[in-house]
Structure 1
Amino acid sequence: MPAPSQLAIATSSLNRLVQEEASYHQEFESQQARIAKLEQGSDADENAEYTLRQERKALDETKAMFPQLRQKIEEAKAKLEGQLEQDKGPGDQSSPEDITKAKEAIAAALHAIRETS
């Protein structure tokens, strides 16, 4: 099995970042739901205030990841687009399948960027 091309590596990297960003969004929503539940709950739990504070801190940390991830996605997208342009030359080494996957990854990245804007 031949080593993956630079295009395939860049595509995988961009896909991983988009999936990571989606995972952070899910975690963010989950944390918001836990905070809402803790705020509504009239539990006599002596640790409720501490737990609420910790959940809010975790929510802030998750929220702080979004700008960094967006920048990484934009950089990886630009790198992949550059790799696609480079592969269009006479010594085209990439398979049509790799090119299709790269274009799909770029589309997914654009969608993720638009959602966070």
Structure 2
Amino acid sequence: MENNFQEKDNIIRSKSFDFSVRIVNLYKILYYERNEKVISKQLIRSGTSVGANIEEGIAAFSKKDFIFKLQISYKEAFESRYWLKLLFKTEYIKQSEFESLLFDVEEIIKIMTVILKSSKENQ
């Protein structure tokens, strides 16, 4: 399964992992420095779930399972985008932090859209 998606997989795998690292680092700042304890926990769950579900999808035993895991990851990316918007609008994160993370998650969403579309067409 992995060979069929190798080129796209490497891009989405590395971008989602880098996004997870950024989310973990933001969580530490929000939780310990900015005293935000609720939304930050939601964000770390959804933000790190993006890459985790991509990894599970890569290890899938069937194309159907691969698509299913990527669909979960796709939804988690949308949820992460929501939490980032909320954190920005409630002034827990600065505009520069927000715009940078928003760019990353939207890029991940675009890449996953292409992967899911081609995977479903080739199913």
Q: TM-score range by the shorter chain?
A: 0.3 to 0.5
Tell which has more relative contact order, 1 or 2 (C-alpha 8 A, sep 6+).
Answer: 1
State which structure, 1 or 2, has the greater radius of gyration over its C-alpha atoms: 1
